[in-house]
Amino acid sequence: MIDAATLNEVVNDPSVAPYVAPGHSNLDLSEFLGDSANIAYGDHKGAVIFNKLESNAMEMHYLLTNQVRGAAALQFIRQAIGHVFTTTNVAAIVGAVPRANLRARIISRAVGLVAIGSCIDLGGRSCVIYKLDRELWAGLYRC
């Protein structure tokens, strides 16, 4: 888990903020942590946050600084996903990844998410919608 001060440090890191909210600064995710249905997993190097959707799903966002890349990033995200599936009754994890964010799209596929559609996000960016359901996750990561 991660506290609000550390989460805000991560989201405002110059290697993270432009991907989260282009053109904005001094982002504050404290309110996000105030909702007990949300989950934030991470440390000062990065975070993976999950907000509860109305359905039995959670929306996932990667907030990874330049301090965690490659295999370390994959392991970090896999641990966060595992935490959600083993501590909640969530049936699926979804996320909308901007098409222009090739790194995030590659990571999404590498951790097992499957492209299921597309959308335009609130910032007007064209996105790919990815999904990982509990059954697929269990098959990918069984011991």
Instruction: Render pLDDT for 86-108 as a digit per residue (tens, 0 to 9).
Output: 999 999 999 999 999 998 999 99
Q: Does 122 score more than 90 pLDDT?
A: no
How many angstroms separate the CA atoms of 96 and 64, rounded?
A: 16
Relative to beta strand 39-43, strand 46-52 is antiparallel
Average pLDDT over residues 124-129: 96
Token couple for 139: 């098959």
- The CATH class of the 4-141 domain is alpha beta
pLDDT at 123: 85
Q: Does 143 score more than 60 pLDDT?
A: no
Q: pTM (2 decimals)?
A: 0.91
Per-residue pLDDT tens over the stretch 16-53: 999 888 888 899 999 999 999 999 999 999 999 999 99
Residue 22: name the closest of 132, 141, 124, 129 by CA. 124
Token couple for 113: 């998410």
Q: Does 13 score more than 60 pLDDT?
A: yes
**Cβ contact 8:2 at 8 Å:** no
How many angstroms separate the CA atoms of 64 and 11, rounded?
A: 8
First-to-final CA distance of the chain: 24
Burial category of 41 from C-beta neighbours within 10 Å (exposed 0-12, middle 13-18, buried 19 and up): buried
Q: Does 142 score more than 70 pLDDT?
A: no
Q: Does 62 score more than 70 pLDDT?
A: yes
pLDDT at 24: 84
pLDDT at 129: 98
How many angstroms separate the CA atoms of 50 and 107, rounded?
A: 16
In this structure, what are the phi and psi dihedrals at residue 6, rounded to the nearest 5 degrees? -70, -40
